[in-house]
Copies of this chain bind each other. A is one copy, B any other.
Amino acid sequence: MPRFDKQGLLIAIALDSQSKDVLMVAYMDEEALARTRETGLAHFHSRSRGKLWLKGETSGHFLRVEEIRVDCDQDALTLFVKPEGPACHTGARSCFYRKLEGDALVRIEG
């Protein structure tokens, strides 16, 4: 079963189950994982706010979780999700919408 680190957290990577694109990455504590499994909606733990966070709670852009994979060390998860809207708070489909080129960040999608 998943193992949480000294801070009680593990890494959760949300992937679009259709395109396989990485949408976002955040942390989960035990509560966030339990709520995710109970509801089928991705919940995370906000390190800055120190509390549970239902992704889409304010935006309506929930991530419906279809499958959860676990890594060899059991301290990281990949969530295969169906996104209900853009995953990024900027309105981008994925939070990873820029690439590093030399010293510049170059936008790769609209």
Contacts and interface: CB of A to CB of B under 8 A. Distances in A.
B69 A98 contact: yes
Contact of A88 (B15, B72, B96): B72
A13 B25 contact: yes
Q: How many copies does the complex hold?
A: 2
A7 to B, nearest CB: 10
B72 A97 contact: yes
A57 interface: no
Contacts of A58: none
22 contacts: A2-B100, A11-B11, A20-B20, A20-B21, A24-B71, A25-B25, A25-B71, A25-B76, A37-B100, A67-B99, A68-B99, A68-B100, A69-B96, A69-B99, A69-B108, A70-B96, A70-B99, A70-B100, A70-B105, A72-B92, A72-B95, A76-B96
Interface of A: 1-2, 11, 13, 15, 19-22, 24-25, 37, 67-73, 76-78, 88-90, 92, 95-100, 103, 105, 108
